[in-house]
Amino acid sequence: MAETSPEETVPVVDPAAGVDRDNWQEPDHVRWSFQHVDQVLPTTPISRGSGPIAELPADLQDLGAVEIPATEFSAARTVRSVIEDSDTDAWMVLHNSTVLTEEYFGTMGPETEHLLMSVSKSLIGTVAGNLVGAGDLDPARPITDYVPELASSGYAGASVRHILDMRSGIRFSENYLDPQSEVRQIEESIGWSEAKRETPGIGMYDFLTTLEAKSEHGGPFEYRSCETDVLGWVCEKVAGESMQTLMSRLLWSRIGAERDALIATDQYGVGMFDGGINTTLRDLARFGCLYANRGVSLTGEQVAPTSWIGDTLTGDADTRQAFADGPGDNRMPGGMYRNQFWFPYPDSHAFLALGIHGQMIYINPGANVVGVKLSSWGLPQDATKLFPTIRAFDAVAKAVASPLPD
């Protein structure tokens, strides 16, 4: 094998070479594309406004050595092993609003904006919660009261509450590996996958009007990204402004964010509400702190209504049963889905904002712990990486809330 002389240089392959709208989600490209969405898709900013930046005091510790107890499915292991084995781009843990760990890998850094995928849903849900708290949006009212354009679609008769908790009766496949599934048809319709498109690029709103019902609304939970897209449309109609402007006004300008967020859009400038928001690790942690602090931001402002936080944590009398009755196995026995958040356990001590390819906010109000992890899994869904990550944050929350004596 020939050796490289000191004068020679090894050519560096541009990680962006060959990345386009048809392959940006392929395993070989996601690490780069999730950190450079604005070079692949149309985006618009969500302004942080001109308010103060929320400080993030640090007491950095090595949490990697924290041990995750064994389960019937896995041996005991360390938090570090989970971080190293799950394509982590960056992760952070805060306890009592103080940063205990903050790490970046590869080209990811504190100022890098990373795609959140479906963690975006929890931000959209919080905007809806603010509108509910202001009396502008009533979860019990039919969706078509706000968006009459959906009157001839399968959403006729569905309420805002149904889409907040993903309990409509809409026919919608969330199979990310099936190019014919509705979740992939959305991407074709909004121009996120051009060469593979088999239908015209009609845009987000028009696509939603084509969806049909398969069962009565208000039944079992079934995870469907289209629910959040409809919710975003409802919010825009209620407020009379784009989600970019609305989220800035009600949320992003009030949490002490360091940077503007970005939202990827369709060809008409409509946001991809179910999975298109991009932000930094630090600002995502600032958002997560709202739900650990009863809606109060790190700047001390009541951003999300206390009543909305309480509703999110408690759900309705049938919320957990609806989750249990849902099709498929969510592997969260006794859990629930409420207001665009996941509750993996029979209690509400910890809950999650989740996005495919390994995006997560972990919130444990009882321990006052917030964990954030941004990742680049090769597969959209991977239980061998998701559940160890949840258990890792559980172990950290227990360790920092009940530290061992010196």
Task: Tell me which amino acid residue 113 is.
Answer: E
Name the DSSP letter for residue 39: G
The pLDDT value given to residue 403: 60
pLDDT band at 10 (very low <50, low <70, confident <90, very high): very low
pLDDT band at 14 (very low <50, low <70, confident <90, very high): low
DSSP string, 354-369: EETTTEEEEEETTTTE
Angle in degrees, CA 375, 380, 385, rounded to 5: 55
d(CA 357, CA 31): 10
122 is catalytic: no
The pLDDT value given to residue 72: 83
DSSP string, 235-257: HHHHHTS-HHHHHHHHTGGGTT-
DSSP string, 45-82: EE--TTSPPPP--B-----TTPEEPP-SSS--EEHHHH
Closest CA to 38 of 279, 268, 237: 279
- pLDDT tops 60 at residue 349: yes
Determine which one of 86, 118, 189, 253 is catalytic. Answer: 118
CATH architecture of 30-401: 3-Layer(aba) Sandwich (3.40)
CB 85 within 8 A of CB 298: no
Task: Tell me which amino acid residue 372 is.
Answer: V
d(CA 91, CA 141): 39
- pLDDT tops 80 at residue 50: yes
Q: Tell me the pLDDT tens digit for each residue of 240-294.
A: 999 999 999 999 999 999 999 999 999 999 999 999 999 999 999 999 999 999 9
d(CA 388, CA 386): 6
Query: Strands 261-264 and 43-46: what pairing?
Result: antiparallel
Question: What value does the mean pLDDT take over residues 119-134?
Answer: 98
Domain ranges for the chain: 30-401
Please report, rounded to a whole number, the percentage of residues in the chain having pLDDT higher than 70: 94
Query: At 263, is the secondary structure helix, strand, or coil?
Result: strand
Task: Work out the mean pLDDT of the chain and round it to a whole number.
Answer: 93
CB 335 within 8 A of CB 320: yes
Closest CA to 120 of 27, 205, 23, 232: 232
